[in-house]
Amino acid sequence: MKMSHIGIMVSDMAKAVEFYTKALGLRIVMDNTPVIEERETAIGRMCIEVFGEGFKGFNIAHLVTEDGVGFELFEMVDHQERHRVDFSRIGLFHFSLQSDDFEGVIERVQQYGGKTRMDIMRYHPEDDNKPAKMVYLEDPFGTLFELYSHTYEETYSHTYEETYSSDYE
């Protein structure tokens, strides 16, 4: 299994494309394109099935990470911006990216309207041989994401075993 893409709702497509390309370094595959509610094309019929009758259309842009994971940005014509995390909603909580330019990404996130949601954390602050860091960030539209300094595998290999095994023995 490989990750293909994720879809993110935004309230301002131009601002979203700027944020995801300039702050996070994603590349545009298909720039902002309007999609209208119609039944004449396969994409039109698919959108009605997904969004329901009366969705009134949307703008869409496709971006991609260095390793080919797609980011599909949606700006619905009829939308209401949200500013808080709804923890009662079951489903996707956040996504995560990894960068060798960890501090630079954090600075650009803030520069382009995003937020830092916590202090930078090291999983093993006592061990200089395990420098993996992470931080929760937020895009300008309230979407949470994590930033890792190392790969997922480097961050978590042996972490559970070394950190938590004594708690459950």
Give the C-alpha separation, 123 to 64, whole Å: 28
Is domain 1-81 in CATH 3.30.870.10, yes or no? no
Ordered by start, the domain boundaries in the chain are: 1-81, 82-169
pLDDT at 124: 72
Q: pTM value? A: 0.81
Number of Cβ within a 10 Å radius of residue 40: 7
pLDDT at 86: 57
Mean pLDDT by 10 residues, the chain (169 residues): 91 96 97 91 84 85 96 83 53 89 97 95 76 92 93 73 44
Give the C-alpha separation, 151 to 53, whole Å: 42
pLDDT at 158: 62
CATH fold for the domain made of 82-169: 3.30.720
